[in-house]
Structure 1
Amino acid sequence: MKGYLSHDFLVEVPAAVVWDVYRGLQLGKLLNQLLRDVIGTVEVVYGDGGVGTILKFTFPPGTSGPSYMKEVFTKIDDEQRLKEGEIFEGGLKDVGFEVYRQSLQIIEKNDQSSIIRSTVEYEIDDELHELASLATTKPMEALNEAVGKYLEQNWDSSNNQ
């Protein structure tokens, strides 16, 4: 069984500014700063933020299910402002998902705003179809909302372009 989920979030910041944060490791630093109690913490296991970089997410205490997950960046496309990662250990891989891929794309709406599109693609054995309801964009939605607010506040105060 295969599935696909998507969520769009509008942010009143130019796409280039948002992409600068989302492209590399700054996003993980902001996650640790803004959402430690909600999503957990992220640490770089390997890499410099490019393709092949491995991150370990440790979920907050009290979170049901696996306590961590590891993700590898599989694609970074500066032209499309697209970043993809695949969970290869922990998280939903441990409960039966064969593939769990997340992506973030920054889409220019106009020169002062952009859309952050979060997607999840997954594959799971047909016999485990009831687990498909565990697939969600909710953590990425929380991240996009927190980072979007952070960028709107900080970009507006430091740039009047």
Structure 2
Amino acid sequence: MSGQLEHELELHVPASEAWELFGTLGIGKLVGEEMPELFQKVEIVEGDGGVGTILKLTFTPGIPGPASYNEKFTKIDNEKRIKEVEVVEGGYLDFGFTLFRVRFEVIEKGEDSSIIKSTIEYEAKEEANASLVSIDPLANIVQVAKNYLGRNKAAKDAK
């Protein structure tokens, strides 16, 4: 069994600014700081933000789904502005999934506008409960990023 979920959100910043956040460790640091309702902590296990970097995401107790998991940056394409991460330990793998991948794609829309397309791809054994997969947490992360980027832009514009 396999599936895919997608979400898109327009950001009112240039694609290059959005990519500075999503293409680096910045998004992990941001959600670790600004989303205590979802993440208890986000830790760098290995790496410097490039391909091969591993993060450990520990969720706030009481959140449905896995308590924690490790994800690995498997693709970072600075030209196309695509970043992919896969769960490599724990989390969805413990629930019968054989693949759980998240992709962020920053699409240039205009000079001061871009779209962040978030995709979850998964493969699971037949006995796995696919209803555990939801795009909502990813949509919330992107909304927090949009708010953060908007605040930064407003602060720059005010100077």
Same fold (TM over 0.5): yes
Amino acid at match of 1:86: E
Identity %: 44
1:133 aligned residue (131, 134, 141): 131
**Is the counterpart of residue 97 in structure 1 residue 107 in structure 2?**
no
1:7: which partner in 2?
7
1:74: which partner in 2?
74
**Is the counterpart of residue 29 in structure 1 residue 29 in structure 2?**
yes
CA shift, 1:159, in A, is: 4.0
Residues of 1 paired with 2:127 and 2:25: CA distance? 37
Q: Is the 8 A contact 2:44 2:56 kept in 1?
A: yes
**Is the counterpart of residue 48 in structure 1 residue 48 in structure 2?**
yes
**Is the counterpart of residue 146 in structure 1 residue 127 in structure 2?**
no
Q: Is the 8 A contact 1:47 1:53 kept in 2?
A: yes
Three-state SS of the structure 1 residue aligned to 2:39 is: coil
Structure 2 residue runs without a partner (length 5+):
none
Deviation readout 1:56-98 (Å, 9 max, x if unpaired): 0000022234310100000000011000010011111111101
TM-score, with structure 2 as normaliser: 0.94
Q: Is the 8 A contact 2:38 2:63 kept in 1?
A: no
Amino acid at match of 1:141: A
Residues of 2 paired with 1:103 and 1:125: CA distance? 21
Residues of 2 paired with 1:140 and 1:6: CA distance? 9
TM-score, with structure 1 as normaliser: 0.92
Q: Structure 1 residues 134 and 6 mapped into 2: Cα distance closer, same or farther (>3 Å)? A: same
Residues of 2 paired with 1:64 and 1:105: CA distance? 26
Amino acid at match of 1:23: G
Residues of 1 paired with 2:156 and 2:145: CA distance? 16
Residues of 1 paired with 2:65 and 2:142: CA distance? 23
Aligned length: 158
Q: Is the 8 A contact 2:96 2:127 kept in 1?
A: no
Structure 1 residue runs without a partner (length 5+):
none
Deviation readout 1:33-78 (Å, 9 max, x if unpaired): 2112223321100000000000000000222343101000000000
